[in-house]
Amino acid sequence: MRVRLSPDGAHPLVLTGERTLPGIPEENYWFARHVAAYEHAAGCLAEACLPAGRPVVDSGCGEGYGTSILSRALAADVLGLDLFADAVSHAAGRYPDSIFVRSDASAVPVRDATMGAVVSLQVIEHLADPAAYVAECSRILHPGGVFVVATPNRLTFTPPGRPKNPFHVVEFTESELRGLLAREFPSVTTRGVHDRHPGLADTPVDAAFAGEVPPDWARALVPEVTPSDFEIRECTPDCLDLIAICRT
């Protein structure tokens, strides 16, 4: 068990495997991969014509680093929501540039059509009713709002059968994710997160860690990976994660 220690006095978090945390070398590959997705989401929202004066929601914000990325990039208030009190306490102490509230992602305590955008990265696969979650995100978005969702690509993340991550309830292929989102959003564009680290081009770390004992070469590469080792481009069957940009 690893703890994300906070020299700034924020509430520490335990690394359980359900969420990634900064500052832990052996977790760095997944953290950098998530940061790359957050930076892409921030860029998409900065370029979009979001409804003026409407806040942005980071749904399932976890440690809070992504909420802070959005806050620094966007000319809007950013609200980080998470179900777990320890995550909200930590994030509020560590990232004063954002607002953090404890909330069920599928029952957000805001009025209809009040948010300018919802960002949901690595959340939907943890939920028992993803359709209800997508409907809730649609409910709170103002007309012209944007929903950005990222989730592991089932084709590369999990062998056939049940999800290998014990915290995942359901995982998606690109067509499955697009079909789910199209129920609520008339416009859905999908992209993929691809690994371009020279040592991982042919064997992503997810595949290397599929066994019980990770190989030494994979463990050695993890601490050196940065967000720039990932690129977001067209969605292909072998991409690592799926990213969808949806418009109301």
Q: Is the pLDDT of residue 8 over 60?
A: no
Q: Is the pLDDT of residue 185 over 70?
A: yes
Q: Would residue 113 be called left, alpha or beta, if left means φ above 0 and alpha means ψ between -120 and 50 degrees?
A: left
User: Model confidence at 78, in pLDDT bands (50, 70, 90)?
Assistant: very high
Q: Is the pLDDT of residue 4 over 60?
A: no
Supply the pLDDT for residue 2: 46
Instruction: Check if the beta carbon of residue 44 is closer than 8 Å to that of residue 145.
Output: no
The one-letter amino acid at 86: D
- Torsion 101-62-22-228 (CA) sign: negative
Supply the pLDDT for residue 133: 98
Mean pLDDT computed over 205-217: 59
Q: What is the mean pLDDT of the chain?
A: 88
pLDDT tens string 136-158: 999 999 999 999 999 999 998 77
Q: Which CATH architecture has domain 2-247?
A: 3-Layer(aba) Sandwich (3.40)
Taking the C-alpha atoms of residue 25 and residue 35, their distance in angstroms, rounded to an integer, is 15
Percent pLDDT > 90 in the chain is 69
Instruction: Check if the beta carbon of residue 75 is closer than 8 Å to that of residue 54.
Output: no
- Taking alpha carbons only, the member of 43, 22, 46 closest to residue 33 is 22
Supply the pLDDT for residue 79: 97
- Taking alpha carbons only, the member of 82, 59, 28 closest to residue 146 is 59
